Protein backbone atom coordinates (compact mmCIF):
# COMPACT_ATOMS: atom_id res chain seq x y z
CA UNK A 1 0.00 0.00 0.00
CA UNK A 2 1.45 3.41 -0.87
CA UNK A 3 2.39 5.31 2.27
CA UNK A 4 2.24 8.72 0.65
CA UNK A 5 -1.31 8.49 -0.61
CA UNK A 6 -1.95 12.05 0.53
CA UNK A 7 0.37 13.52 -2.14
CA UNK A 8 -1.59 15.24 -4.84
CA UNK A 9 -2.62 13.52 -8.00
CA UNK A 10 -0.90 16.24 -10.00
CA UNK A 11 2.46 15.45 -8.43
CA UNK A 12 1.97 11.78 -9.17
CA UNK A 13 1.28 12.56 -12.84
CA UNK A 14 4.29 14.85 -13.09
CA UNK A 15 6.57 12.21 -11.62
CA UNK A 16 5.16 9.52 -13.87
CA UNK A 17 5.80 11.64 -16.94
CA UNK A 18 9.35 12.22 -15.76
CA UNK A 19 9.93 8.50 -15.47
CA UNK A 20 8.32 7.65 -18.81
CA UNK A 21 10.21 10.23 -20.79
CA UNK A 22 13.44 9.89 -18.80
CA UNK A 23 13.83 13.61 -18.18
CA UNK A 24 17.20 14.45 -16.66
CA UNK A 25 17.04 15.64 -13.07
CA UNK A 26 18.58 18.96 -14.03
CA UNK A 27 15.53 19.79 -16.15
CA UNK A 28 13.03 19.31 -13.32
CA UNK A 29 11.62 22.02 -11.12
CA UNK A 30 12.07 21.62 -7.32
CA UNK A 31 8.48 20.45 -6.91
CA UNK A 32 8.86 17.89 -9.69
CA UNK A 33 12.08 16.59 -8.15
CA UNK A 34 10.35 16.10 -4.81
CA UNK A 35 7.42 14.31 -6.40
CA UNK A 36 9.73 12.05 -8.36
CA UNK A 37 11.59 11.02 -5.22
CA UNK A 38 8.31 10.05 -3.56
CA UNK A 39 6.31 8.31 -6.23
CA UNK A 40 8.99 6.57 -8.25
CA UNK A 41 10.83 4.95 -5.37
CA UNK A 42 10.65 1.47 -6.97
CA UNK A 43 13.56 2.57 -9.17
CA UNK A 44 15.80 1.90 -6.17
CA UNK A 45 15.52 -1.75 -7.16
CA UNK A 46 17.40 -1.22 -10.39
CA UNK A 47 20.27 -3.45 -9.29
CA UNK A 48 20.38 -6.74 -7.46
CA UNK A 49 22.35 -5.24 -4.56
CA UNK A 50 20.38 -4.40 -1.42
CA UNK A 51 21.29 -0.95 -0.05
CA UNK A 52 23.29 -1.36 3.18
CA UNK A 53 21.50 -0.85 6.49
CA UNK A 54 24.01 1.84 7.45
CA UNK A 55 22.70 4.08 4.67
CA UNK A 56 19.22 4.13 6.19
CA UNK A 57 20.56 4.55 9.72
CA UNK A 58 22.85 7.41 8.74
CA UNK A 59 19.97 9.10 6.93
CA UNK A 60 17.68 8.80 9.96
CA UNK A 61 20.42 9.92 12.36
CA UNK A 62 21.23 12.94 10.23
CA UNK A 63 17.56 13.91 10.09
CA UNK A 64 17.22 13.53 13.85
CA UNK A 65 20.25 15.71 14.49
CA UNK A 66 19.04 18.46 12.17
CA UNK A 67 15.39 18.49 13.22
CA UNK A 68 15.59 17.60 16.91
CA UNK A 69 18.99 19.00 17.89
CA UNK A 70 18.06 19.38 21.55
CA UNK A 71 17.45 15.65 22.00
CA UNK A 72 19.54 12.49 21.79
CA UNK A 73 18.38 9.42 19.88
CA UNK A 74 18.65 6.26 21.98
CA UNK A 75 16.67 3.65 20.01
CA UNK A 76 16.97 2.06 16.57
CA UNK A 77 14.06 -0.18 15.52
CA UNK A 78 13.95 -2.00 12.19
CA UNK A 79 11.14 -3.86 10.41
CA UNK A 80 11.34 -5.44 6.93
CA UNK A 81 9.10 -5.59 3.94
CA UNK A 82 8.00 -8.99 2.72
CA UNK A 83 7.43 -11.24 -0.27
CA UNK A 84 4.70 -13.86 -0.26
CA UNK A 85 5.85 -16.99 -2.04
CA UNK A 86 2.33 -18.40 -2.21
CA UNK A 87 -0.98 -18.05 -0.38
CA UNK A 88 -2.48 -14.87 -1.81
CA UNK A 89 -5.71 -13.25 -0.68
CA UNK A 90 -6.27 -15.99 1.87
CA UNK A 91 -5.25 -14.21 5.07
CA UNK A 92 -8.44 -12.18 5.59
CA UNK A 93 -10.48 -15.39 5.44
CA UNK A 94 -8.32 -17.12 8.05
CA UNK A 95 -6.34 -19.18 5.56
CA UNK A 96 -2.70 -20.12 5.05
CA UNK A 97 0.13 -17.99 3.69
CA UNK A 98 3.83 -18.63 3.10
CA UNK A 99 5.72 -15.31 3.12
CA UNK A 100 9.24 -14.31 4.07
CA UNK A 101 10.89 -11.05 5.10
CA UNK A 102 13.26 -9.25 2.74
CA UNK A 103 16.27 -7.00 3.33
CA UNK A 104 14.41 -3.88 2.25
CA UNK A 105 13.17 -2.32 5.48
CA UNK A 106 12.09 0.72 7.48
CA UNK A 107 14.29 2.17 10.23
CA UNK A 108 12.96 4.27 13.11
CA UNK A 109 15.48 6.17 15.22
CA UNK A 110 14.57 8.34 18.18
CA UNK A 111 13.77 8.68 21.83
CA UNK A 112 10.74 8.77 24.07
CA UNK A 113 9.48 8.87 27.62
CA UNK A 114 6.42 8.33 29.78
CA UNK A 115 5.42 10.91 32.35
CA UNK A 116 2.47 11.55 34.62
CA UNK A 117 0.30 14.60 34.01
CA UNK A 118 -2.06 15.17 36.95
CA UNK A 119 -4.47 17.21 34.84
CA UNK A 120 -4.94 14.43 32.29
CA UNK A 121 -8.36 12.80 32.19
CA UNK A 122 -7.27 10.06 29.80
CA UNK A 123 -4.10 8.49 28.42
CA UNK A 124 -2.41 10.73 25.87
CA UNK A 125 0.56 10.88 23.52
CA UNK A 126 2.62 13.55 21.76
CA UNK A 127 4.20 12.37 18.52
CA UNK A 128 6.82 14.27 16.52
CA UNK A 129 8.56 12.68 13.56
CA UNK A 130 10.24 13.30 10.23
CA UNK A 131 10.54 10.96 7.25
CA UNK A 132 13.31 10.77 4.68
CA UNK A 133 10.55 11.05 2.05
CA UNK A 134 9.51 14.49 3.37
CA UNK A 135 12.68 15.66 5.17
CA UNK A 136 11.60 19.30 5.46
CA UNK A 137 8.33 18.52 7.23
CA UNK A 138 8.18 17.86 10.98
CA UNK A 139 4.92 16.00 11.61
CA UNK A 140 3.32 16.63 15.01
CA UNK A 141 0.23 14.99 16.52
CA UNK A 142 -1.49 14.97 19.90
CA UNK A 143 -3.71 11.96 20.50
CA UNK A 144 -5.70 10.47 23.35
CA UNK A 145 -7.71 7.34 24.04
CA UNK A 146 -10.78 9.10 22.66
CA UNK A 147 -9.11 10.10 19.37
CA UNK A 148 -10.91 9.00 16.21
CA UNK A 149 -9.38 7.92 12.90
CA UNK A 150 -9.39 10.60 10.19
CA UNK A 151 -11.77 10.13 7.29
CA UNK A 152 -8.94 10.62 4.80
CA UNK A 153 -5.80 8.51 5.05
CA UNK A 154 -2.39 10.16 4.76
CA UNK A 155 0.90 8.30 5.17
CA UNK A 156 1.15 9.76 8.67
CA UNK A 157 -2.04 7.91 9.61
CA UNK A 158 -0.11 4.62 9.62
CA UNK A 159 2.23 6.06 12.24
CA UNK A 160 -0.38 7.71 14.43
CA UNK A 161 -2.77 4.76 14.22
CA UNK A 162 -0.01 2.41 15.35
CA UNK A 163 0.95 4.56 18.34
CA UNK A 164 -2.73 4.77 19.30
CA UNK A 165 -2.85 0.98 19.77
CA UNK A 166 -0.34 1.24 22.62
CA UNK A 167 -2.14 3.89 24.70
CA UNK A 168 -3.99 1.26 26.79
CA UNK A 169 -0.59 0.04 28.05
CA UNK A 170 0.04 3.33 29.85
CA UNK A 171 -0.23 2.96 33.61
CA UNK A 172 -3.06 5.37 34.34
CA UNK A 173 -5.32 8.00 32.74
CA UNK A 174 -2.77 10.57 33.86
CA UNK A 175 0.03 8.90 31.86
CA UNK A 176 1.45 10.70 28.83
CA UNK A 177 3.64 9.13 26.14
CA UNK A 178 6.12 11.46 24.44
CA UNK A 179 7.78 10.28 21.20
CA UNK A 180 10.32 11.94 18.92
CA UNK A 181 11.79 10.02 15.99
CA UNK A 182 12.84 9.93 12.37
CA UNK A 183 11.99 7.38 9.68
CA UNK A 184 14.09 6.12 6.78
CA UNK A 185 13.19 3.24 4.50
CA UNK A 186 13.75 1.64 1.13
CA UNK A 187 10.73 -0.66 0.73
CA UNK A 188 9.32 0.44 -2.65
CA UNK A 189 5.99 2.17 -2.28
CA UNK A 190 2.92 0.59 -3.85
CA UNK A 191 4.91 -2.41 -5.05
CA UNK A 192 3.19 -5.18 -3.10
CA UNK A 193 6.20 -5.61 -0.78
CA UNK A 194 4.38 -4.30 2.31
CA UNK A 195 5.83 -0.84 2.78
CA UNK A 196 2.90 -0.02 5.07
CA UNK A 197 3.42 -3.02 7.35
CA UNK A 198 7.15 -2.30 7.47
CA UNK A 199 6.39 1.23 8.67
CA UNK A 200 3.78 0.15 11.20
CA UNK A 201 5.88 -2.62 12.71
CA UNK A 202 9.04 -0.50 12.98
CA UNK A 203 7.09 2.22 14.78
CA UNK A 204 5.46 -0.38 17.03
CA UNK A 205 8.80 -1.91 17.99
CA UNK A 206 10.12 1.57 18.78
CA UNK A 207 7.14 2.35 21.02
CA UNK A 208 7.57 -0.96 22.85
CA UNK A 209 11.11 -0.01 23.84
CA UNK A 210 9.91 3.33 25.19
CA UNK A 211 7.17 1.61 27.20
CA UNK A 212 9.52 -1.08 28.52
CA UNK A 213 7.82 -3.63 30.76
CA UNK A 214 4.51 -1.83 30.34
CA UNK A 215 4.28 -2.86 26.68
CA UNK A 216 1.33 -5.25 26.21
CA UNK A 217 0.42 -4.87 29.90
CA UNK A 218 -3.19 -4.26 28.86
CA UNK A 219 -3.41 -7.56 26.99
CA UNK A 220 -5.72 -10.03 28.72
CA UNK A 221 -5.76 -12.92 26.24
CA UNK A 222 -3.48 -15.65 27.55
CA UNK A 223 -3.90 -17.71 24.38
CA UNK A 224 -1.42 -15.45 22.58
CA UNK A 225 1.74 -14.94 24.61
CA UNK A 226 4.12 -13.86 21.86
CA UNK A 227 4.92 -10.12 21.71
CA UNK A 228 5.53 -10.54 17.97
CA UNK A 229 1.97 -11.79 17.48
CA UNK A 230 0.44 -9.04 19.59
CA UNK A 231 2.51 -6.50 17.70
CA UNK A 232 1.19 -7.87 14.41
CA UNK A 233 -2.41 -7.77 15.65
CA UNK A 234 -2.07 -4.19 16.81
CA UNK A 235 -0.52 -3.06 13.54
CA UNK A 236 -3.22 -4.83 11.56
CA UNK A 237 -5.85 -3.11 13.70
CA UNK A 238 -4.20 0.24 13.01
CA UNK A 239 -4.38 -0.37 9.28
CA UNK A 240 -7.94 -1.71 9.40
CA UNK A 241 -9.43 0.99 11.62
CA UNK A 242 -7.24 4.03 11.09
CA UNK A 243 -6.27 3.60 7.44
CA UNK A 244 -9.57 2.04 6.34
CA UNK A 245 -7.84 -0.91 4.70
CA UNK A 246 -9.43 -4.35 5.23
CA UNK A 247 -6.08 -6.16 5.09
CA UNK A 248 -5.42 -9.51 6.73
CA UNK A 249 -2.69 -10.29 9.25
CA UNK A 250 0.00 -11.67 6.92
CA UNK A 251 2.07 -8.57 6.23
CA UNK A 252 2.31 -7.42 9.83
CA UNK A 253 2.91 -10.96 11.10
CA UNK A 254 5.88 -11.76 8.88
CA UNK A 255 7.41 -8.30 9.32
CA UNK A 256 7.15 -8.78 13.06
CA UNK A 257 8.12 -12.43 13.49
CA UNK A 258 10.20 -13.63 10.52
CA UNK A 259 13.45 -15.52 11.09
CA UNK A 260 16.50 -15.15 8.85
CA UNK A 261 16.77 -18.04 6.41
CA UNK A 262 13.17 -19.20 6.84
CA UNK A 263 9.84 -18.70 5.20
CA UNK A 264 6.95 -18.49 7.64
CA UNK A 265 3.87 -20.65 7.17
CA UNK A 266 1.18 -18.67 8.95
CA UNK A 267 -2.20 -20.03 9.95
CA UNK A 268 -4.08 -16.75 9.85
CA UNK A 269 -6.90 -18.03 12.03
CA UNK A 270 -4.93 -19.41 14.98
CA UNK A 271 -1.88 -17.19 14.38
CA UNK A 272 0.44 -20.16 14.60
CA UNK A 273 3.79 -19.73 12.87
CA UNK A 274 5.73 -22.60 11.34
CA UNK A 275 9.25 -21.87 10.14
CA UNK A 276 9.84 -23.40 6.73
CA UNK A 277 13.29 -23.72 5.19
CA UNK A 278 14.10 -24.49 1.58
CA UNK A 279 15.98 -27.78 1.40
CA UNK A 280 19.53 -26.46 1.09
CA UNK A 281 21.03 -29.94 1.13
CA UNK A 282 20.27 -30.12 -2.57
CA UNK A 283 23.05 -29.06 -4.93
CA UNK A 284 20.49 -27.36 -7.15
CA UNK A 285 18.72 -25.25 -4.50
CA UNK A 286 17.23 -22.32 -6.46
CA UNK A 287 17.02 -18.65 -5.58
CA UNK A 288 14.18 -16.14 -5.50
CA UNK A 289 14.04 -13.17 -7.86
CA UNK A 290 11.66 -10.24 -7.41
CA UNK A 291 10.64 -8.11 -10.39
CA UNK A 292 8.77 -4.83 -10.01
CA UNK A 293 6.19 -4.00 -12.68
CA UNK A 294 6.33 -0.34 -11.65
CA UNK A 295 2.54 -0.37 -11.66
CA UNK A 296 1.59 0.93 -8.23
CA UNK A 297 -1.40 -0.31 -6.30
CA UNK A 298 -3.50 0.90 -3.39
CA UNK A 299 -5.22 -1.76 -1.32
CA UNK A 300 -7.09 0.77 0.83
CA UNK A 301 -9.30 1.65 -2.11
CA UNK A 302 -10.45 0.24 -5.40
CA UNK A 303 -10.92 -3.48 -5.86
CA UNK A 304 -9.34 -4.85 -2.68
CA UNK A 305 -12.29 -4.12 -0.35
CA UNK A 306 -14.56 -5.47 -3.07
CA UNK A 307 -12.75 -8.83 -2.94
CA UNK A 308 -13.19 -8.95 0.84
CA UNK A 309 -16.92 -8.41 0.44
CA UNK A 310 -17.15 -11.00 -2.33
CA UNK A 311 -15.53 -13.60 -0.07
CA UNK A 312 -18.17 -12.92 2.56
CA UNK A 313 -20.90 -13.36 -0.04
CA UNK A 314 -19.37 -16.67 -1.14
CA UNK A 315 -19.19 -17.82 2.48
CA UNK A 316 -22.91 -17.16 2.95
CA UNK A 317 -23.65 -19.31 -0.09
CA UNK A 318 -21.46 -22.13 1.22
CA UNK A 319 -23.43 -22.15 4.46
CA UNK A 320 -26.42 -23.28 2.42
CA UNK A 321 -24.75 -26.67 2.09
CA UNK A 322 -22.65 -26.66 5.26
CA UNK A 323 -23.77 -24.40 8.13
CA UNK A 324 -20.50 -25.09 9.99
CA UNK A 325 -18.49 -23.06 7.48
CA UNK A 326 -17.50 -19.82 9.21
CA UNK A 327 -15.21 -18.51 6.48
CA UNK A 328 -13.66 -19.71 3.23
CA UNK A 329 -10.87 -21.20 5.34
CA UNK A 330 -13.32 -23.93 6.38
CA UNK A 331 -14.34 -24.85 2.84
CA UNK A 332 -12.73 -27.22 0.34
CA UNK A 333 -12.78 -27.00 -3.46
CA UNK A 334 -15.37 -29.80 -3.41
CA UNK A 335 -17.58 -27.73 -1.10
CA UNK A 336 -17.39 -24.87 -3.58
CA UNK A 337 -18.51 -27.12 -6.44
CA UNK A 338 -21.36 -28.48 -4.33
CA UNK A 339 -22.56 -24.97 -3.45
CA UNK A 340 -22.11 -23.54 -6.91
CA UNK A 341 -25.84 -23.41 -7.59
CA UNK A 342 -26.20 -20.94 -4.70
CA UNK A 343 -23.52 -18.59 -6.05
CA UNK A 344 -23.30 -16.12 -8.86
CA UNK A 345 -20.32 -16.58 -11.18
CA UNK A 346 -18.18 -14.00 -9.40
CA UNK A 347 -18.69 -15.50 -5.95
CA UNK A 348 -17.93 -18.94 -7.33
CA UNK A 349 -14.64 -17.81 -8.85
CA UNK A 350 -13.55 -16.03 -5.66
CA UNK A 351 -14.32 -19.07 -3.52
CA UNK A 352 -12.60 -21.38 -5.99
CA UNK A 353 -9.40 -19.33 -5.79
CA UNK A 354 -9.27 -19.13 -2.01
CA UNK A 355 -9.96 -22.80 -1.37
CA UNK A 356 -7.51 -24.05 -4.00
CA UNK A 357 -4.90 -21.50 -2.90
CA UNK A 358 -5.02 -22.79 0.67
CA UNK A 359 -4.35 -26.31 -0.62
CA UNK A 360 -1.51 -25.08 -2.84
CA UNK A 361 0.10 -23.26 0.08
CA UNK A 362 0.17 -26.31 2.33
CA UNK A 363 1.55 -28.42 -0.52
CA UNK A 364 4.22 -25.83 -1.30
CA UNK A 365 5.52 -25.96 2.27
CA UNK A 366 6.01 -29.72 2.02
CA UNK A 367 7.66 -29.55 -1.40
CA UNK A 368 10.04 -26.77 -0.32
CA UNK A 369 11.27 -28.87 2.58
CA UNK A 370 11.52 -31.91 0.34
CA UNK A 371 13.39 -30.00 -2.36
CA UNK A 372 10.97 -30.78 -5.20
CA UNK A 373 11.53 -27.49 -7.03
CA UNK A 374 9.57 -28.55 -10.09
CA UNK A 375 6.46 -29.12 -8.03
CA UNK A 376 6.92 -25.86 -6.11
CA UNK A 377 7.16 -24.08 -9.46
CA UNK A 378 4.02 -25.77 -10.75
CA UNK A 379 2.13 -24.62 -7.66
CA UNK A 380 3.38 -21.06 -8.15
CA UNK A 381 2.25 -21.09 -11.78
CA UNK A 382 -1.15 -22.48 -10.81
CA UNK A 383 -1.45 -19.79 -8.15
CA UNK A 384 -0.83 -17.02 -10.66
CA UNK A 385 -3.36 -18.45 -13.11
CA UNK A 386 -5.91 -18.59 -10.31
CA UNK A 387 -5.27 -15.00 -9.27
CA UNK A 388 -5.48 -13.87 -12.87
CA UNK A 389 -8.56 -15.82 -13.91
CA UNK A 390 -10.56 -16.55 -10.74
CA UNK A 391 -9.63 -13.78 -8.31
CA UNK A 392 -8.95 -11.27 -11.08
CA UNK A 393 -6.31 -9.23 -9.26
CA UNK A 394 -3.54 -9.28 -11.83
CA UNK A 395 -3.00 -6.75 -14.61
CA UNK A 396 -1.52 -6.76 -18.10
CA UNK A 397 1.96 -5.68 -17.04
CA UNK A 398 2.24 -8.26 -14.28
CA UNK A 399 1.02 -10.99 -16.62
CA UNK A 400 3.74 -9.96 -19.08
CA UNK A 401 6.40 -10.26 -16.36
CA UNK A 402 5.15 -13.69 -15.33
CA UNK A 403 5.02 -14.88 -18.94
CA UNK A 404 8.58 -13.70 -19.59
CA UNK A 405 9.85 -15.51 -16.51
CA UNK A 406 7.91 -18.73 -17.04
CA UNK A 407 9.35 -19.08 -20.55
CA UNK A 408 12.96 -18.58 -19.44
CA UNK A 409 15.26 -21.65 -19.13
CA UNK A 410 16.01 -22.52 -15.53
CA UNK A 411 12.82 -21.01 -14.11
CA UNK A 412 10.67 -23.36 -12.02
CA UNK A 413 7.74 -21.02 -11.47
CA UNK A 414 6.66 -17.39 -11.33
CA UNK A 415 3.65 -15.53 -9.99
CA UNK A 416 2.24 -12.25 -8.81
CA UNK A 417 3.06 -11.55 -5.17
CA UNK A 418 1.15 -9.19 -2.91
CA UNK A 419 -2.31 -7.70 -3.14
CA UNK A 420 -2.24 -7.39 -6.90
CA UNK A 421 -3.48 -4.74 -9.33
CA UNK A 422 0.21 -4.06 -10.03
CA UNK A 423 3.25 -4.53 -7.84
CA UNK A 424 5.81 -7.33 -8.04
CA UNK A 425 6.33 -10.89 -9.16
CA UNK A 426 8.32 -13.61 -7.41
CA UNK A 427 10.20 -16.20 -9.46
CA UNK A 428 11.90 -19.43 -8.38
CA UNK A 429 14.94 -19.88 -10.61
CA UNK A 430 18.11 -21.96 -10.76
CA UNK A 431 20.92 -20.14 -8.98
CA UNK A 432 23.20 -19.98 -12.02
CA UNK A 433 20.41 -18.50 -14.16
CA UNK A 434 19.31 -15.68 -11.84
CA UNK A 435 21.48 -12.91 -13.26
CA UNK A 436 20.63 -13.83 -16.85
CA UNK A 437 16.94 -13.95 -15.94
CA UNK A 438 16.99 -10.46 -14.44
CA UNK A 439 18.73 -9.03 -17.50
CA UNK A 440 16.28 -10.80 -19.81
CA UNK A 441 13.21 -9.66 -17.86
CA UNK A 442 14.33 -6.04 -17.93
CA UNK A 443 14.97 -6.12 -21.68
CA UNK A 444 11.81 -7.99 -22.64
CA UNK A 445 9.55 -6.06 -20.28
CA UNK A 446 10.81 -2.77 -21.70
CA UNK A 447 10.25 -4.04 -25.24
CA UNK A 448 6.72 -5.27 -24.55
CA UNK A 449 5.40 -2.55 -22.23
CA UNK A 450 7.73 0.43 -22.53
CA UNK A 451 8.23 0.31 -18.76
CA UNK A 452 11.33 -0.21 -16.66
CA UNK A 453 11.42 -3.43 -14.62
CA UNK A 454 13.72 -3.25 -11.57
CA UNK A 455 14.75 -6.72 -10.35
CA UNK A 456 16.64 -8.10 -7.38
CA UNK A 457 17.61 -11.46 -5.95
CA UNK A 458 16.55 -11.99 -2.36
CA UNK A 459 16.53 -14.49 0.49
CA UNK A 460 14.49 -14.85 3.68
CA UNK A 461 15.60 -12.23 6.20
CA UNK A 462 15.02 -11.28 9.83
CA UNK A 463 11.82 -9.72 11.16
CA UNK A 464 11.52 -6.72 13.47
CA UNK A 465 14.56 -6.14 15.66
CA UNK A 466 16.61 -3.54 17.51
CA UNK A 467 20.07 -2.23 16.72
CA UNK A 468 22.66 -0.61 18.94
CA UNK A 469 22.66 3.16 18.62
CA UNK A 470 26.47 3.13 18.85
CA UNK A 471 27.65 0.49 16.40
CA UNK A 472 24.40 -0.50 14.64
CA UNK A 473 24.86 -4.15 15.62
CA UNK A 474 21.76 -6.21 16.42
CA UNK A 475 20.72 -6.80 20.01
CA UNK A 476 20.31 -10.50 20.77
Q: Across the 476 residues of the chain, what is the mean pLDDT of every consecutive 10-residue run?
A: 38 37 32 28 44 88 95 97 98 97 97 96 98 95 97 94 98 97 92 94 98 89 79 97 94 97 96 89 87 78 86 98 96 98 98 99 97 97 99 97 99 96 96 97 98 95 95 81
261-275 pLDDT, tens per residue?
999 999 999 999 999
Write down the pTM of the prediction: 0.86
From the list 251, 330, 372, 390, the catalytic residue is 251
State the Cα–Cα distance between residues 82 and 198, nearest whole angstrom.
Answer: 8
From the list 434, 412, 102, 97, the residue with the least C-alpha distance to 276 is 97
CA distances to 74, 353, 383, 387, 394 from 390, in Å: 49, 6, 10, 6, 10
In terms of domains, do 192 and 174 share one? Answer: yes
11-58 pLDDT, tens per residue?
343 333 333 333 333 332 222 222 222 233 333 444 445 558 999 999
In terms of domains, do 71 and 116 share one? Answer: yes
In terms of domains, do 149 and 25 share one? Answer: no
In terms of domains, do 216 and 181 share one? Answer: yes
Annotation says 251 is catalytic: yes
In terms of domains, do 203 and 68 share one? Answer: yes
Which residues form the domain of 90? 49-277+461-467
User: Is residue 410 domain-resident?
Assistant: no
Beta pairing class for 175-185 and 124-131: parallel
User: Is residue 3 domain-resident?
Assistant: yes
User: Is residue 475 domain-resident?
Assistant: no
User: Is residue 407 domain-resident?
Assistant: no
> 3-state DSSP helix/strand/coil percent for the chain, to nearest 5?
45, 20, 35
In terms of domains, do 102 and 243 share one? Answer: yes
In terms of domains, do 28 and 74 share one? Answer: no
User: Is residue 187 domain-resident?
Assistant: yes
Q: What is the pLDDT of residue 188?
A: 85
User: What domain count does the chain have?
Assistant: 2
User: Is residue 437 domain-resident?
Assistant: no
Amino acid sequence: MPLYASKTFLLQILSLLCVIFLLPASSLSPIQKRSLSLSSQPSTLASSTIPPMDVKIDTAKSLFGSKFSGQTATIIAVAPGRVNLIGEHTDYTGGFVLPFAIDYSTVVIGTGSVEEKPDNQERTASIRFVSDKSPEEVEAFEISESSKPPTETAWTTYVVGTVFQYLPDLKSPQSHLDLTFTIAGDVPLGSGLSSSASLEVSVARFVEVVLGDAAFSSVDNDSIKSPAKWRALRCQKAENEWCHSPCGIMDQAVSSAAKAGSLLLIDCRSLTFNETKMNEQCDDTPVLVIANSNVQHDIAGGEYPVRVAQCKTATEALRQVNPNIESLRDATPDDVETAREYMDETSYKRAKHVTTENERTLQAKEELERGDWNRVGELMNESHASMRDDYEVSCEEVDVLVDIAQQFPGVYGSRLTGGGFGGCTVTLVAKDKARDLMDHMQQEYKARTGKHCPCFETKPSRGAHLLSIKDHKPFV
